[in-house]
Amino acid sequence: MASGYEILGMHRNVQHRVDFMEWAPGARYCALVGDFNGWSPTENCAREGHFGRDDYGYWFIILEDKLREGEKPDELYFQQYNYVDDNDKGDSGVTIEELFKKANDEYWEPGEDRFIKSRYEVAAKLYEQIFGPNGPETEEELEEIPDAETRYKAWKEQHKDDPPSNLPPFDVIDNGKEYDIYNVVDDPVWREKFRAKKPPLAYWLESRKGRKAWLKKYIPGIPHGSKYRVYFNTPDGPLERIPAWATYVLPDVDGKQAFAIHWEPPPESAHRWKNMRPNVPKSLRIYECHVGISGSEQKISSFNEFTENVLPHIKEAGYNAIQLIGVVEHKDYSSVGYKVTNLYATSSRYGTPDDFKRLVDEAHGQGMLVFLDIVHSYSAADEMVGLSLFDGSNDCYFHTGKRGHHKYWGTRMFKYGDPDVLHFLLSNLNWWVVEYQIDGFQFHSLSSMIYTHNGFASFTGDLEEYCNQYVDKDALMYLILANEILHALHPKIVTIAEDATYYPGLCEPTSQGGLGFDYYVNLSAPDMWLDFLENIPDHEWSMSKIVSTLIGNRQYADKMLVYAENHNQSISGGRSFAEILFGAIKEDPLSSKTTLLRGCSLHKMIRLITLTIGGHAYLNFMGNEFGHPKRIEFPMPSNNFSLSLANRCWDLLENEVHHNLFSFDKDMMKLGENERSLSRGLPNIHHVKDSAMVISYMRGPLLFIFNFHPTNSYEGYYVGVEEAGEYQIILNTDETKYGGQGLIEEGQYLRRTINRRVDGLRNCLEVSLPSRTAQVYKLSRILRI
């Protein structure tokens, strides 16, 4: 169910040909058309003698390599070629007769090849016994043939004195019943000997020739870089489509027709993996990226530019994983990559498949995991380049009627109950892991697929809302299968669920009735912060709401991935937190010192509490770590297809304000790396004061204190701690190197506990809390009382 990519699509066969297989049950005729055959719908088609179409709608087409002028066909019909190495064993000049003789002499033991050399011996003896000169001449003389058991016992008696033989010794034992279940008893020594014997494939492979011999004799039936489409004849007439399993596609941009590209680069230019996958860390610090907008120029950036320019920045920032959005091929660039058209292809806007492999390889070499934002919850409604009406029928990959269309997004909904659709989607997940060494997936918008109302309904948390007639049980079964198969095939894989409805059991093991995800995304946190910043005055912020939103469901808090803001809040009309905090972008947007101080302080505090109070995974979108002030707007008709806002201003890092924010984010990531602030157990939240707007909690030996009050600073503020000892500030948002005022002097960084019961704990610390600041203390020395 998860290895369909091994046979479907376009594949080079070892016997000097290319095999193509496609699933189109509604089609009556199938052919490949492209520049390699003059776009002829009759030259390369599924026809008699080439398997054609099976009963399940799978079409099979063979593209034979063409003999060069003056070359003769191979003597062996099973002649194989090695397309990677220049030479192979078959180039030594050894003949097939010599190989067969070598196999007979070395492989078979005396007696084992008896029936291979004389395969008609048994039949000849039986014929002679019945029809020979000593056989019966009349029907009366033909005695009744005894039953099998009698004949077997007679044979055993006749051969009881035979010398030992290499032939397999078997005895059949049953209870004498007419339809009895029987046991086959053999010699244990012979059984082990038989199991240790490998098939004689090694002798066959000695006839395989190398790439030079293949290129000398043949011209590829479909050369590397050829353009092609699949041609169907359907009840509604002929149509052309991009193959569903195509791995490299050029969508119909700039008014040109779409086509697939046959990607079979020569070995010297194909990418070779250099780096091993990093081990999965106990906590994830994920950097979310979009390759196309990752450059500073007003253009679509490439995989190679991302590898050269952005990966070093992510490494310097201290993140241990990247999550890529918009990588899978999509026709509409303004959809950010979520209206996927070709699930097996990387987007050609950014480069070739080998360019993407290089990106992943380089990320692994720098110690970072690579996650993919995968969209299996819906698909683009495009026909030529997508899957809609793929074979002329409306129910090939998708549901018919209203259920086959998303209520608001104009996309198509997969038919998860169809085994062939399951085969397609499950194989797609495995394909990205095997072909591109992807380390994990974030499953986008699960609520769109789990419910027939696509998640556009009010949810109160009542269990009935997750178990009614609007739940698509086939979609749930697909998610269970996806997690079960991925974790069975790739034990270190990471799967993340993005579900706005928080379906019960998202991260429970499949063996216990859950869906089997490793993490779920807390989508409430960024919405809360956005609401606070845009709609609620600073002095009215609720500390209780901040805590309850960020910790989510404590039962699954260790499985939670949390972020302060993501790409959705900055795209097409939205504003980033930096734009909200620092005001509209003008010639001098940071002129107001008060606005600047407030913006920097809240920017740091929001990220610090989001990182440290939640689960074991944190995510940040590209550029937000240094307060990117501009929103993202992809080219579309409303902006005259402009790319002016579809980029990232990396030169802002030279600006003092943004450099300070980036320095803080780097030290915050070091806190996660060196002090394990994410991977420790859940925080003990012991101090939440809405009136003072102070939050304090402990996570292992770390004490976190936040003062969100816009004006009130506190001297001699008491917060409880469990362990008595000395506590040292290891991170302070108010330091001048982070753009703060430096109100806490260096002599105040070390604090000793007081033996007083506060917040229900045995000891307390007396600390200084300037307004809009946060400090992280670490227990540096324990005092025994």
Dihedral of alpha carbons 712, 718, 724, 726, sign = positive
Query: What span, in angstroms and rounded, lies between the C-alpha atoms of 367 and 358?
Result: 14
Q: How confident is the model at residue 461 (pLDDT cuts 50, 70, 90)?
A: confident
- Which among 676, 563, 669 has a CA at the least distance from the CA of 288? 563
- Does residue 190 have a pLDDT over 80? no
pLDDT given for residue 585 in this prediction: 41
Query: What span, in angstroms and rounded, lies between the C-alpha atoms of 240 and 384?
Result: 7
Query: What span, in angstroms and rounded, lies between the C-alpha atoms of 291 and 324?
Result: 7
* Structure-model confidence comparison of residues 557 and 735, the more confident one: 735
- Does residue 646 have a pLDDT over 60? yes
Give the CB-side neighbour count of residue 253, counting CA atoms within 13 A. 13
pLDDT tens-digit series, residues 493-528? 999 999 988 888 899 999 999 999 999 999 999 999
- Does residue 759 have a pLDDT over 90? yes
- Does residue 116 have a pLDDT over 70? no
Annotation says 745 is catalytic: no
Which segment of 15-19, 193-197, 364-368, 744-748 scores lowest on mean pLDDT? 193-197
- Does residue 626 have a pLDDT over 80? yes
Mean pLDDT of the chain: 88
The catalytically annotated residue of 288, 498, 625, 735 is 498
- Which among 717, 703, 623 has a CA at the least distance from the CA of 671? 703
pLDDT tens-digit series, residues 219-246? 999 999 999 999 999 888 999 999 999 9
Q: How confident is the model at residue 320 (pLDDT cuts 50, 70, 90)?
A: very high
pLDDT given for residue 51 in this prediction: 65
- Does residue 784 have a pLDDT over 70? no
Q: How confident is the model at residue 554 (pLDDT cuts 50, 70, 90)?
A: confident
pLDDT given for residue 356 in this prediction: 97
pLDDT given for residue 586 in this prediction: 47
Share of the chain above pLDDT 90, in %: 59
Which segment of 47-61, 80-94, 272-286, 463-477 scores lowest on mean pLDDT? 47-61
* Structure-model confidence comparison of residues 688 and 164, the more confident one: 688
pLDDT given for residue 587 in this prediction: 46
- Does residue 293 have a pLDDT over 60? yes
- Does residue 469 have a pLDDT over 90? no
The stretch 466-493 carries a mean pLDDT of 93
Share of the chain above pLDDT 70, in %: 93
**Residues sharing a CB contact under 8 Å with residue 559, sequence separation 6 or more, in sequence order:** 506, 507, 517, 518, 519, 520, 615, 616
The stretch 732-739 carries a mean pLDDT of 94
- Does residue 683 have a pLDDT over 60? yes
User: Which range, 187-201, 277-291, 578-592, is most confident?
Assistant: 277-291
Query: What span, in angstroms and rounded, lies between the C-alpha atoms of 286 and 288?
Result: 6
pLDDT given for residue 714 in this prediction: 95
Q: How confident is the model at residue 368 (pLDDT cuts 50, 70, 90)?
A: very high
Which segment of 57-71, 106-120, 183-197, 355-369 scores lowest on mean pLDDT? 106-120
- Does residue 49 have a pLDDT over 50? no
Helices (H), 62-120: 96-106, 114-117
CB 659 within 8 A of CB 738: no
Q: How confident is the model at residue 710 (pLDDT cuts 50, 70, 90)?
A: very high
* Structure-model confidence comparison of residues 155 and 522, the more confident one: 522
- Does residue 370 have a pLDDT over 70? yes
Query: What span, in angstroms and rounded, lies between the C-alpha atoms of 661 and 626?
Result: 5
Query: What span, in angstroms and rounded, lies between the C-alpha atoms of 378 and 708?
Result: 41
- Which among 291, 311, 310 has a CA at the least distance from the CA of 301? 291
- Which among 222, 215, 246, 257 has a CA at the least distance from the CA of 36? 222
The stretch 680-687 carries a mean pLDDT of 90
- Does residue 139 have a pLDDT over 70? yes
Q: pTM for the full model?
A: 0.87
Query: What span, in angstroms and rounded, lies between the C-alpha atoms of 785 and 774?
Result: 29
CA distances from 331 to 65, 338, 575 (A): 32, 10, 26
The stretch 321-337 carries a mean pLDDT of 91
Query: What span, in angstroms and rounded, lies between the C-alpha atoms of 280 and 300?
Result: 31
Dihedral pair phi/psi, residue 742, rounded to 5° = 65, 40
* Structure-model confidence comparison of residues 565 and 481, the more confident one: 481
* Residue 642 identity (one-letter amino acid): S
The stretch 382-394 carries a mean pLDDT of 87
Query: What span, in angstroms and rounded, lies between the C-alpha atoms of 604 and 599?
Result: 9
